[in-house]
Amino acid sequence: MGTELSKAVVDGVLTGGVYALMAAGLTLIFGVMEIINIAQGIFVVLAAYLSYVLQVHLGIDPFIGLLITMPLMFGVGVLIEWGFVRRLKEQNKSALSILVTFAVAIVIEGILTQLFSADLRIIKAWYVDKSLHVLGFYLPYIYLLGFVLAVVLLAALYLFLYRSRSGKSIRASVQNRTGAELIGININRVSAITFGIGAAVTAAGGMIFGATNSFNPNSGYDLISRLLVIVVLGGLGSIGGALVAAVAALVIEDVTAVLWSPIWASTMFFAVLVVVLLVRPNGLFGQTAVRAQ
Amino acid sequence: MASSAVPADPLSGRGLSVARRVLLAALVLFAVVFPFVFTNPATTSIAMFTLLYVGASSAWNMFSGFTGYMALGNAVFYGSGAYAFANLALHLHLTGGAGVFALVPVAGVIAGLVALPVGWLALRTRRHTFVVITIAIFFIFQLLAYNLHGLTNGSSGMSLPIPPWDAQTYNTYFYLAALVVAVVAVTAAWLVRRSSFGLELLAIRDDEERALGLGVRTTKVKLATFVLTGFLTGMCGAVYAYYLGSIYPPFAFEAIFDVTIALMAFFGGLGTISGPVIGALILEPVQQYITLRFTAGGFSLIAFGVLFLLVIRFMPEGIVPSLAGLLRRWLRARAEAGASPQSSSSPPGAAVSAAGITGAVRP
């Protein structure tokens, strides 16, 4: 039991990192634009299919393939922001944007179903089935690599937001949209970049997801529900909060699977949200007013 | 305040005008005789689903349209109503027949009871977080439907009593039941809207802090409406379950349902009484057609999604407010152009209320 438990904790931390990567885009987009991007779940699945296609048809390793899928997903994000989100009228924007991104998700799901059918797929590579044996744990390479990738990309995202000029514009827009506009920041450009980055980061998360889980076009629903729980737990708009929340929620899920039953593990994932909201209605790291205007 | 946008607010006139009463009676009469005129089972089936969505979308609009809180988890009540109905029929050992419909309000009450803790929890949060919480709670219920075998029989699903009606009249019973539920939902929305309670809901939508400061007990009012919405949506779910004959978690708790009813209300006109009705009457037959036309594969999903996108792109304010705006402009232009004194007897506000809008055009 003891080893099983500590293994569950380690697994939870490793998968939590990947979930944080998938949730980072969602919380970033919310932070800048106050838009809940329901399409984030299907973005993960789309990215997984892209990696799958590159690997199966062109023989490109999924990690190398990120050099192709991440820019591609960046383009998808920019396109969706430009094509649909930007065109919404200011009035009712936050409500309509949920419906728009949901509609986009349904269209992408339909296209994927048409192209790949509803059969379950999984990304295979030599490191997917192999494990590293340390301290009595068998750690699958893919989880380790995924966790490292998540840490590297989240760190890169952090550096980008805090050290680059574009990053500064994004943070300025998070703090005060009107003020940012007044000092000459092009909000449309920032929004497009944010959506693009949100989707690009998801591309990496999607590849790891596709290598560690079998997926089909329908997987987007389960993903978006989990990602929403994570970003609310962490406080909408907080990337660090999302990381902590993802790790905590995944550890709790894995531990529940060991201590109680795997059937109830995913229910527990959501129950955490209910409990936290009873105590802190704005999430673990949420502020009362995310944006003071 | 939103109502200030419409000078002659329908609230000032207590009842309905004679013309509207006649129109409404004709509409209900048409709805009642519909299944006896169009007897094709395919048609009555689509009509029944349309009425269920009229009810569910009106119920959604009563909470979300009036208060501005987007709830995207109403399938929780739809599914709860469906499973409550199935369990009641199972444990009471009922055989199929028209009498089973008596359980529909009971299932609605159970769904309303479900809405009480759900609403209490979700309404602790504001706006954006509220949306996400309702989505998350929806997924919790979907998971519970798979896991709570004692109540739902898990993924194997539950069977409901099969009515002994012949194929020709089978749909008619369900159609009439759905019609009753839809009429109840729309009437409830109308009664809420013209009460001071409804005004409190609108005040919350416009400025919650200010409403609170002016003495609106915001939490109580919101929760009460949320529960009423749960009750009405649950009744729709119960009829749905009885019609299907068997119920499974993914059908009872369907994510697309959450969004569809919201979209219908947006399409027709958010926060109006006739909006969700018109939205459902137009969109549900289209959806049913798409489903029947492209049964397999992703085409029906693509068609759904594109339909949704087109609606949001070209009708963001909804049909009712858009048409009301057009009518108002047209009347004003006519009043300015012509010197006819009669035209002044129909001020813009009256025209708006004739178009079925109930003072919910935002400034």
**Domain spans of chain B, in order of start:** 2-354
The band of A150, judged by pLDDT with boundaries at 50, 70 and 90, is confident
Q: Of A198-202, A289-293, B94-98, B358-362, which has the strongest mean pLDDT? A: A198-202
CA distance A52 to A123: 6
**Helical pair B41-60 and B167-194, crossing angle rounded to 10 deg:** 20
For residue B38, the SS3 value is coil
Q: What is the pLDDT of residues B119-169, one digit of tens each?
A: 998 888 877 788 888 988 898 898 889 888 888 888 888 988 888 888 778
Backbone angles phi, psi at A134, to 5 degrees: -130, 135
Residue A15 has pLDDT above 60, yes or no: yes
Counted residue by residue, chain A has a size of 293
Collect all residues of chain A within an 8 Å Cβ-Cβ radius of residue B135. Answer: 224-225, 228
Q: Does the distance separating the beta carbons of A34 and B140 come in below 8 Å?
A: no
Q: Does the distance separating the beta carbons of B124 and A278 come in below 8 Å?
A: yes
Write out residues in chain B with pLDDT < 50, as ranges: 1-14, 341-363
Residue B343 DSSP label: G
Query: Rounded to a whole number, what is the distance in Å from the CA of B277 to chain A's nearest CA?
Result: 19
Beta bridge partners of A133: A138
Closest partner residue to A232 (CB to CB) among B132, B255, B313 is B132
Picking from A270, A279, A290 by the largest number of B CB atoms within 10 A of its own CB, the best residue to mutate is: A270
Q: What is the pLDDT of residue B192?
A: 94
Q: Of A35-49, A252-266, B348-362, which has the strongest mean pLDDT? A: A35-49
Give the residue from chain B lying closest to A110, CA to CA: B298
Q: Please give the C-alpha separations between residue A31 and each of A37, A150, A290, B258, in angstroms, as whole numbers.
A: 11, 20, 8, 25
Residue A212 has pLDDT above 80, yes or no: yes
Q: What is the pLDDT of residue A285?
A: 67
Average model confidence (pLDDT) for chain A? Answer: 84
Q: What is the pLDDT of residue A49?
A: 94
Q: What is the pLDDT of residues A103-122, one digit of tens each?
A: 999 999 999 998 988 888 88
Let me know: does A172 contact A181? Beta carbons within 8 Å: no
Let me know: does A291 contact A175? Beta carbons within 8 Å: yes
CA distance A124 to A119: 16
Contacts of residue A240, Cβ cutoff 8 Å, sequence gap at least 6: A234, A285
Average model confidence (pLDDT) for chain B? Answer: 84
Q: Which of B83, B12, B114, B2 is nearest to B350 (CA)?
A: B12
Let me know: does B243 contact B252? Beta carbons within 8 Å: no
Picking from A45, A85, A102, A267 by the largest number of B CB atoms within 10 A of its own CB, the best residue to mutate is: A102
Q: What is the pLDDT of residue B215?
A: 86
Residue A242 has pLDDT above 90, yes or no: no
Collect all residues of chain B within an 8 Å Cβ-Cβ radius of residue A114. Answer: 297-299, 302
Q: What is the pLDDT of residue A287?
A: 54
pLDDT, greater one: A177 or B48: B48
Residue A84 DSSP label: I
In this structure, the number of other CB atoms found within 10 A of the CB of residue A37 comes to 31
Closest partner residue to B140 (CB to CB) among A94, A112, A270 is A270
A2, containing H or E segment: helix A2-33
Asked if B124 is an interface residue toward chain A (Cβ–Cβ < 8 A), one would say yes
Contacts of residue A64, Cβ cutoff 8 Å, sequence gap at least 6: none
Contacts of residue B45, Cβ cutoff 8 Å, sequence gap at least 6: B171, B288
CA distance B15 to B13: 6
Give the residue from chain A lying closest to B141, CA to CA: A267
Token pair, residue A200, equals 């690009």
Q: What is the pLDDT of residue B2?
A: 40
E strand map for chain A: 131-134, 137-140
Residue ranges of domains in chain A, CATH in brackets: 2-279 (1.10.3470)
Give the residue from chain B lying closest to A234, CA to CA: B129
For residue A131, the SS3 value is strand
Percent of residues, chain A, with pLDDT higher than 70: 94
